[in-house]
Structure 1
Amino acid sequence: MICLKFGVYLMTEQGDILQKLKKPLSIERKINYNNSSVIGGFDSYILNWLNKLTKVVDDDQIMNVVNKLNSLFEDYSEVRIPIRKKKLAESRELFTRLATLIEDNETNKEELPQLWQESIRYIKGVGKKRAGQLAHLGVQTVRDMLFYFPRDYRDWSTNCQIRELTPGNQVTVEGKVINIEEIRPRQGLTITKIVIGDGTGSLTGVWFNQPYIKNNFNRGIPVAFSGKVKKEYGELQMSNPNYELINNNDNLYVGRVLPIYSTTQGLSQNMLRKIVKSLIDEYLDEFPEFLETELREKYNLLGIKEALKMIHFPDKIEDVEEARKRLVFDELFILQLGMALRRIDLITEEDGIVHNSGDGIINNYLTDLPFELTSAQAKVWAEIKEDMESKKEMNRLIQGDVGSGKTVIATLALLKAVSSGYQGAMMAPTEILAEQHYLSLKESLSRYGVEVGLLVGSLTAKEKEAVLDELETGNLDIVIGTHALIQEGINFDNLGLVITDEQHRFGVRQRATFKEKGENPDVLVMTATPIPRTLALTLYGDLELSVIDELPPGRKPVVTEWRTKKAYSKIFSFIRQELEAGRQAYVVCPLVEESEKLDVSSAVEMSDKLINDIFPGFNVGLLHGQLKADEKEEVMGKFRDQEINILVATTVIEVGVNVPNSTLMLIVDAERFGLAQLHQLRGRVGRGQHQSYCILIADPSTETGEERMKIMTQSTDGFVIAEEDLKLRGPGEFFGTRQHGLPDLEIANLLRDSHILEIARKEAFNLVDIDPNFIKPENKLLKDLIEIKFGDNFDLIDVS
C-alpha cells in the first residue's frame, strides 16, 4: 500500500510502514553509516516513520518495540560511526520482532491475490532451470508472466490448399514433410529444402546457409509454413518461411493465431506458449477486476480477464487490438494515478509562500526593457504570478524553444520573490551558463538595488566563504550557481524561490535537495528542450506546464544546410564573407567517444588549422571543458566583445550562450549529435537582426543519421524536431525516463497511444480528486497496483 514521502497517505497500514522503515537500512550500511541514505537524513526518516507507526497501532507489544527503536535512533546523527554501526546491528533483532508482531496483528489485511507474488519457478512445467532463463526476460512471478506480452503473432487460422496457391500471395499452408534435402552448389553456400505435401500438391521451403534447420524436421510430421509464394524451377517455393511443427493432439497449435514472444537461449516459443496457456487456464479466474464497470463501458474496454486471455491467444487477429486497448489504458491509467497522487501530495502538504501582490519593482523592470513581452511570455508570467501570490506551493515547468525568452520570465519571478522579502536561487548545469546568467542579472538589476551573487565550484575558498556569509545573513538577494548550490553547509536566510535551468541535466535527487534549502519555496523548472506533449504529460504529470510557444518579433529563421566534408573550401569562403561583414562564427567540434581528452584535442586541432591555414587574418578563440572557469569566462567575454571573430568550441556552448552578433554556426561531424543537441547548438545563432546560418558537416553511415540531417534542414521548430526525435529514438532513449523514477512501459507506446494517454490522465486525476485516499471499495485494488508499478521509485517521480 502506498505512502507518499511528503504527506498523502492511502490507508497506510502497519506492514506498509514496516517496509518503509526497512528500505534504507541496507543502503545506510553500504554507504558506511554516514546518515545520507535518505534525503534529509537517515535518522529523521526512521524517526518520522516510527512516529507514524504509533498512530496506526493499538498493540502494547508493538508499541514497546517502537519505543526501543526510537531510543536507539534518536541520537544517531550525534554519535560516531562505530556507534552508528552498533545501533544498526542492534536494530536488526528489533525489526525482526516488529515484523512478527505486525504479521500476527494484521489478520484482515486487504491485498491482491497471492497470484501476484507467487514465483514462476513453482508453476507446473517451469522448475529451477527454466525460472533462471525466464529471469533473463524479467519474468519472476506469475504476474510477470501473464504481463509478458507477445511482440508479434502468426495467423494459422486460415489455411490454403497447395493447389490454390498463386505466386506473390502471402499465405499459410499445412502439410506433412515428404522430403528433406541439403544442396551445396559451391563453397560457402548451403541450400536446405524441406518439401511438404497436403494431398493436393507440394510446396518447398528454402533456407540459405542455415543447415541446422533440417534438424527440426522429420519425414511424415505435420508442419505449417507461412510466407510469400513464388515459382522457381517449376516448383512452388517459400524462401525462409515461418514455420510451426503441429501437434494434432494439442489444440493450442491447430488452426489458430499464435503469439510470438521475445525469448532467450534455451526457451522456445512452444515452451513459452505452454507456460502462459497453463497460467491462463489455472489462474485467470483468480484475477481481480480493478476498473469500475461504468469506466469500462464509457470507453468500451474489455474486462481484464478477457483482455489477458485475448492478448496471448486471440481467436482472430482483429481481437489483438481490442485486448491491447484495455491493457494500454490500464498501464497509462496506473501511471497517471501515480502522477496525480504526486501532485495532490504537493498541493496538500504545508502551505507555500504567499508573495506580495504589489509589483512596483517588476513594473519598473518591464518599463526599462528595450522590448515588450510577447503574448506567450505575458501569459506564462501571469500564470507564475498567480501561483506565487497564492498559498499553494508553485511547482511549474516552463517549456520554451531556443530563444523564446525564458530568462526574462525567470528574472520576473526572482524579482517577485525579492520584492516580497525572500531570496531567489537559480541553478544552471554549467559554469559558463551560470556565469552568463550572473553577469546578465547583475547588470540589469543593480539599478533596482538587488544584490546578485555567484556560487560555482571554481571559486577560491575565500570567495566562496564571502558568498556563503552574504547568503546566510540575507545580504544577497539572488544567487546563481551550479551543483555547488546544493552542497552541505550552504544555508539561506530566507529562500523563497528555486529555479532550475535546463532541468534535464540534473538528477531527481539533486533537484529535491535544492528545494530542501528553504521552507516550502516555490519551484520553477525551465527547459529549452522541447518535450512532446505526450511525453511531458508522463514525465511531468505532477507539475503545472507553461509553454512559451512564440519567438520575439523580428527574429529571422536560421537557414540550415547539410554538406559533406568535400564542401569545406566553399564553406570557409562563406564564413570569410560573414566575418568581413563584421559578423562572428562558431565552429563546434563533437565529443569523440565520450573522451574529454580526445574531445579537447579535436577542438585544438581545428583551432590550429583555422589560425594557421584558413583564417590567419582573424582572431580565433578556443573553448572546451578542460579550461578553468576564469579562462572560459575570459574567452566568452572576448567573444561577446567582438575581440574574437571565430569561436571553436565543444558542446559547452550548447545551452544559454547569447551573442547576438554571431550569425554562423558550423557543426563538424554533425552525425555524432542527436537532433535535440543539434537544435540547441543552432539556437546559439539567430539572436540578432542579421540573417543567420547553420551548416552541418556530416557523412552519416545510417539511414537514421541521414534522416536527422534532413529534419534539421526542413524545420526550425523545436517541438516538430522533438516529435521527430521521439519517433527516431523512442521515449526511453529520448529523455532517459529512468532518471525520472518512472517505471518501464510494458505495452503502451507514448507516440502510438497518445489519445489513450489523454483519456487515462483525465480519468486518473478525476478519481484522485474524488477519492484521494482510495477508500471506496471499487478503488481499493488500485493503490496496490500503483505500488507494484512504481516499486521503490515512487518517491523519485520527478520532483523539481
Structure 2
Amino acid sequence: MKLSSLKGIGQKTEQLFTKAGITDTSQLPYYYPRSYDIYKEPVLISEIDEDGIYTLYLSIASDVEVKPMKKLTITTVFAVDEQNERIKLTWFNMPFMKGALRRGYRYMVRGRVVCRGSLVSMEQPKLYTAAEYELKLHYIQPIYPLVKGLTNNMVTKAVTQYFAMQNNPEEMEYLPKELIERYELKPLYEAIKYIHFPRGINEMQESRKRLAFDEFFGFMMKLENLKSQRTYLENECMIHEGGYAARLISELPYQLTEPQRKAYDEMVADMSGKHVMNRLIQGDVGSGKTIIAVLALLNAVEAGFQGALMAPTEVLAKQHYDTVCELLKKHEFPVTPVLLVGSMSASQKKKAHEQIKDGTADIIIGTNALIQEKVEYNNLGFVVTDEQHRFGVNQRGGLARKGGHPHVCVMSATPIPRTLAIILYGDLDISIINAMPVGRLPIKNAVVGEEYRPNAYRFIMNQAALGHQAYVICPMVEDNEISESENVTDYTVELRKNLPGLTVEGLHGQMAADTKNDIMGRFAKGEIQVLVSTTVIEVGINVPNATVMLIENAEKFGLAQLHQLRGRVGRGNAQSYCIFVSTSKKEEAKQRLDIIGKSNDGFYIAEQDLKLRGPGDFFGIRQSGDMSFTLADIYTDADMLKKAKDCADYIIENNLQNTLKKAFSQNDVML
C-alpha cells in the first residue's frame, strides 16, 4: 500500500519517507526506533552525574532576560530546586517565554542538562505543571532515525496508522507455537508493535530480544544454506605453494609471525586438499592479514587461476591494489593486477571487464562491483573478501559463485570471542592471527575527562608540527533534530578555531560516495592534517602517517568498536596515541574505558565486552556495524544468537519445510 494512502502524508512527505528508505506501508513496522525518550521521575540537581535528559522541579529565581542577536534571540533565566541548587535555563528564538515564566513560581522543567564545571544549564527545556507531568510520567517515546525535513512526529503517526489497520496480525508469525514457547519468545506481531510503542521497559526489552532472535535466525538459515551447498564440494582448483610466494616470503624485510605462518600453512593445505577451502582469517587490526592473502593469491596465479580480492570501500580497494602493484613491481613477478570499482569511467570499466574475461587479468581487486552480473571471469580459482562483517551473507557467496567452485578466504579485523565466531562463521574453518608484527610500537592510550580537551588539541598541534596527521571522532548525535552531517560540520568549524593553521576536513556517512572517497584519498595523501569523522572511518582507510586519534564521548561506544576505531592509527613506524574523552562520571563507564585504556589486545577486549554488556544495554544510538544487523548486536544479544542457532538446527534436522519457507519469506522482509 502506498504511503500516500495514510492520513497526513502528501507528496512532499512521501518523498521524505522515500529518502529514509520507506516506499511502502509494509516497511513501516521494520523502521525501528534508534533510541527512546523515557519520561522519568524528577531528580535533584545534585543527583545529576552526567549530561543527559532530565526532569527537574524548579522555582524561577531571577527575572527573564531576552537578548536579540544577529541571527537568533536568546532567552535566559535562573532557577533553583528544593535544595536551592542553581541552574541556568536557555531558549533559542523563543522570546515569548518571557511572558510564560513568573519569578517565584514552580514548574516541572524537562530538557538536556549540560554540566560545565560549576555551571549547570538546560537548553530548550519544556515546561509542565505538576499535574501535566504526572500524566506523562513513565511514557516511552520512540526516537526514529531521520533525514532532513522528516520529523519524529511524522514517523510516529505513520507507524501508529499502520498498526491500526492490521486485521490479522497473527499471520506475521512464522515459528510454530512449540518453538516460541521453547525459546521463550514474544509473539512476532507483539514484538514489532511494542518495539515502537512499549508500555514499559520490560516489554521493550522482551520485544527487542524477539526481533534480535529473528535477525540472527534469518542469518543462520542463510548460513546453513551456504554450508549445505559448499561443505563437501570437491577441489577443482588444485593450488599448491608456488615459487612466487616462497620467494616473496624469503625477500620480505621482516619475518612472518608464528600465527601468520600457521594461517598461511593452513590455507596452502586447504587449497591443495580434497575439498574446496572455506576459511576465515581473523586477526587484530594491523596483525598482517593482507600479506597472507597476497601470498595465497600468488599461489593461485602460479597454478593457472585468477584470484580476486573484494574490499568494502573504494579507498580500501585502491590501497590494496597499490600494495599489490608495489610488491609485484619490486619483486618482478610476471603477474597482472586489475582494479574494478564503481567510480571508474565507463571506458576503464569496459577494459577491466575485457581483461577479466579473456584472462589477462591475474589478480582482480575491487569492491562489490566484482560480483555484478556483467563481470565474467576466465578461470577464477581463489576469492578473498576483506573486512567480512561489512558484507552480508548473500555477498559472502556472491563472489564465490562467479567461478566454478573457487576457494574462499574471508578476512576480518573484528575480534569476536571464539564461542560467537563459531556460530557466526559456521560455514568456515577459522585461523586466528593473534600476534603483532615484530617491532610494531604499541599504541599509547589515555582515558580523560573533557577538561583535558585543550591539552589534546595542543598535542595534535605538536604532532602536526612533526609532520603527522590525526583523526577526531565526532561526538555522537543524540538530539533527534540534528542530522549527522550538521553535527560533523559544526564540530569541524569548532576544531578549525582550536587548531589554527591546520587543514581540517569533515567526513560523514550521509556524504555521496565520490565525496567520501575524495576526502579519504586526500587524507591518505597528506593533504588533510586532521580528519573529523563519524564512525564511517572504522573500516576503509590506511594512513601510516596518522599518529593521533581523539575519540569524543568514548563512553557511548562499545569496546569492540572503540578498538576498531583505534586501529586507524599505529599502522606506521612512529609512536601512535589514542585519546578517549569521556563525559560520564558513572563507575560502569569508567570500568569499561579502563579496559581499553590498558590493553591493545582486540581479542581480550572483545571477551571483556561480552562479559560487561548486559541484555538490557541497548539504549542510545546504535553505532555497531557488526555483521550488518539492523537491530541485533552479537555482544548484547549473545543469548539470542545461541537460541537462533539452536532453532535453525532444530528446524533443518526435523525437516520442517513449511516453517522453512515461511522463515525465509519473513526474514527477507526483515533483514
TM-score range (shorter-chain normalised) is: 0.5 to 0.7
Identity of aligned residues (%): 42
**Do the aligned residues in 2 keep the contact of 1:377 with 1:548 (CA within 8 Å)?**
yes
1:394 aligns with 2:264: no
Aligned with 1:585: secondary structure?
Answer: strand
Task: Note the C-alpha offset of 1:135.
Answer: 5.5
Counterpart amino acid of residue 447 in structure 2: W
Q: Are residues 405 and 782 of structure 1, via their aligned partners in 2, closer, same or farther at CA, if it must alter by over 3 Å?
A: closer
Deviations 1:625-661 (A, max 9, x none): 4666666555445544444432333333212532223
Q: Which runs of 5+ in 1 are unaligned?
A: 1-29, 31-131, 152-261, 266-331, 765-779
Distance in structure 1 (CA, Å) of the matches to 2:221 and 2:507 = 46
Distance in structure 2 (CA, Å) of the matches to 1:432 and 1:748 = 32
Distance in structure 1 (CA, Å) of the matches to 2:301 and 2:482 = 43
**Do the aligned residues in 2 keep the contact of 1:352 with 1:394 (CA within 8 Å)?**
no
Residue in 1 that maps onto 2:439: 554
| Structure 1 length-normalised TM | 0.51
Deviations 1:41-88 (A, max 9, x none): xxxxxxxxxxxxxxxxxxxxxxxxxxxxxxxxxxxxxxxxxxxxxxxx
Residue in 2 that maps onto 1:456: 341
Counterpart amino acid of residue 685 in structure 1: V
Task: Note the C-alpha offset of 1:384.
Answer: 0.4
Counterpart amino acid of residue 654 in structure 2: D
Residue in 1 that maps onto 2:449: 564
Q: Are residues 486 and 341 of structure 1, via their aligned partners in 2, closer, same or farther at CA, if it must alter by over 3 Å?
A: closer
**Do the aligned residues in 2 keep the contact of 1:352 with 1:522 (CA within 8 Å)?**
no
1:368 aligns with 2:238: no
Q: Are residues 385 and 792 of structure 1, via their aligned partners in 2, closer, same or farther at CA, if it must alter by over 3 Å?
A: farther
Residue from 533, 539, 542 that aligns with 1:658: 542
1:358-757 correspondence to structure 2 within 5 Å? 358-446=241-329, 447-589=332-474, 592=477, 598-611=483-496, 613-625=497-509, 632=516, 635-700=519-584, 705-727=589-611, 728=613, 749=639
Q: Are residues 428 and 700 of structure 1, via their aligned partners in 2, closer, same or farther at CA, if it must alter by over 3 Å?
A: farther
Task: Note the C-alpha offset of 1:353.
Answer: 1.2
**Do the aligned residues in 1 keep the contact of 2:301 with 2:307 (CA within 8 Å)?**
yes
Task: Note the C-alpha offset of 1:708.
Answer: 3.8
Q: Are residues 720 and 140 of structure 1, via their aligned partners in 2, closer, same or farther at CA, if it must alter by over 3 Å?
A: closer
Distance in structure 2 (CA, Å) of the matches to 1:750 and 1:568 = 40
Q: Are residues 510 and 438 of structure 1, via their aligned partners in 2, closer, same or farther at CA, if it must alter by over 3 Å?
A: same
**Do the aligned residues in 2 keep the contact of 1:590 with 1:599 (CA within 8 Å)?**
no
Residue in 2 that maps onto 1:125: none
Distance in structure 2 (CA, Å) of the matches to 1:635 and 1:546 = 34
Q: Are residues 553 and 656 of structure 1, via their aligned partners in 2, closer, same or farther at CA, if it must alter by over 3 Å?
A: farther
Q: Are residues 404 and 145 of structure 1, via their aligned partners in 2, closer, same or farther at CA, if it must alter by over 3 Å?
A: closer
Aligned length: 467
**Do the aligned residues in 1 keep the contact of 2:392 with 2:627 (CA within 8 Å)?**
no
Distance in structure 1 (CA, Å) of the matches to 2:351 and 2:481 = 32
Higher relative contact order (CA 8 A, sep 6+): 2
Aligned with 2:405: secondary structure?
Answer: coil
Task: Note the C-alpha offset of 1:344.
Answer: 6.6
| Structure 2 length-normalised TM | 0.60
**Do the aligned residues in 1 keep the contact of 2:472 with 2:550 (CA within 8 Å)?**
yes
Q: Are residues 511 and 139 of structure 1, via their aligned partners in 2, closer, same or farther at CA, if it must alter by over 3 Å?
A: closer
Counterpart amino acid of residue 582 in structure 2: A
Distance in structure 2 (CA, Å) of the matches to 1:336 and 1:608 = 45
1:784 aligns with 2:654: yes
Deviations 1:81-104 (A, max 9, x none): xxxxxxxxxxxxxxxxxxxxxxxx
More off after superposition, 438-447 vs 410-419: 438-447
**Do the aligned residues in 1 keep the contact of 2:385 with 2:411 (CA within 8 Å)?**
yes
Aligned with 1:434: secondary structure?
Answer: helix
Residue in 2 that maps onto 1:354: 238
Residue from 179, 182, 193 that aligns with 1:147: 182
Residue in 2 that maps onto 1:26: none
Residue in 1 that maps onto 2:198: none
**Do the aligned residues in 2 keep the contact of 1:564 with 1:699 (CA within 8 Å)?**
yes
Distance in structure 2 (CA, Å) of the matches to 1:646 and 1:488 = 39
Counterpart amino acid of residue 443 in structure 1: E
Larger Rg: 1
Distance in structure 2 (CA, Å) of the matches to 1:425 and 1:595 = 42
Deviations 1:435-486 (A, max 9, x none): 2111211222233132222211112222211111111111111121112111
Q: Are residues 539 and 731 of structure 1, via their aligned partners in 2, closer, same or farther at CA, if it must alter by over 3 Å?
A: farther
**Do the aligned residues in 2 keep the contact of 1:138 with 1:144 (CA within 8 Å)?**
no
Aligned with 1:348: secondary structure?
Answer: coil
Distance in structure 2 (CA, Å) of the matches to 1:358 and 1:430 = 30
Distance in structure 1 (CA, Å) of the matches to 2:252 and 2:480 = 43
Q: What root-mean-square deviation, in Å, do the aligned CA atoms of Structure 1 and Structure 2 show?
A: 4.6
Task: Note the C-alpha offset of 1:420.
Answer: 1.1
**Do the aligned residues in 1 keep the contact of 2:279 with 2:408 (CA within 8 Å)?**
yes
1:72-111 correspondence to structure 2 within 5 Å? none
Distance in structure 2 (CA, Å) of the matches to 1:623 and 1:527 = 24
Aligned with 2:280: secondary structure?
Answer: strand
Aligned with 2:323: secondary structure?
Answer: helix
Q: Are residues 789 and 691 of structure 1, via their aligned partners in 2, closer, same or farther at CA, if it must alter by over 3 Å?
A: farther
Q: Which runs of 5+ in 2 are unaligned?
A: 1-23, 25-166, 195-215, 619-623
Aligned with 1:531: secondary structure?
Answer: coil
Aligned with 1:491: secondary structure?
Answer: coil
Q: Are residues 437 and 736 of structure 1, via their aligned partners in 2, closer, same or farther at CA, if it must alter by over 3 Å?
A: closer
Q: Are residues 518 and 133 of structure 1, via their aligned partners in 2, closer, same or farther at CA, if it must alter by over 3 Å?
A: closer
**Do the aligned residues in 2 keep the contact of 1:561 with 1:696 (CA within 8 Å)?**
yes
Distance in structure 1 (CA, Å) of the matches to 2:453 and 2:333 = 49
Task: Note the C-alpha offset of 1:560.
Answer: 1.9
Deviations 1:316-375 (A, max 9, x none): xxxxxxxxxxxxxxxx9xx999989965752433433111x3521112222332211101
Task: Note the C-alpha offset of 1:567.
Answer: 2.1
Task: Note the C-alpha offset of 1:620.
Answer: 3.2
Task: Note the C-alpha offset of 1:380.
Answer: 0.3
Aligned with 2:500: secondary structure?
Answer: coil
Q: Are residues 640 and 489 of structure 1, via their aligned partners in 2, closer, same or farther at CA, if it must alter by over 3 Å?
A: closer
Counterpart amino acid of residue 253 in structure 2: P
Residue in 2 that maps onto 1:767: none
Distance in structure 2 (CA, Å) of the matches to 1:496 and 1:649 = 38
Aligned with 1:393: secondary structure?
Answer: coil
Deviations 1:672-692 (A, max 9, x none): 433222111101112233332
Counterpart amino acid of residue 423 in structure 1: Q
**Do the aligned residues in 1 keep the contact of 2:651 with 2:659 (CA within 8 Å)?**
no
Counterpart amino acid of residue 653 in structure 1: I
**Do the aligned residues in 2 keep the contact of 1:354 with 1:389 (CA within 8 Å)?**
yes
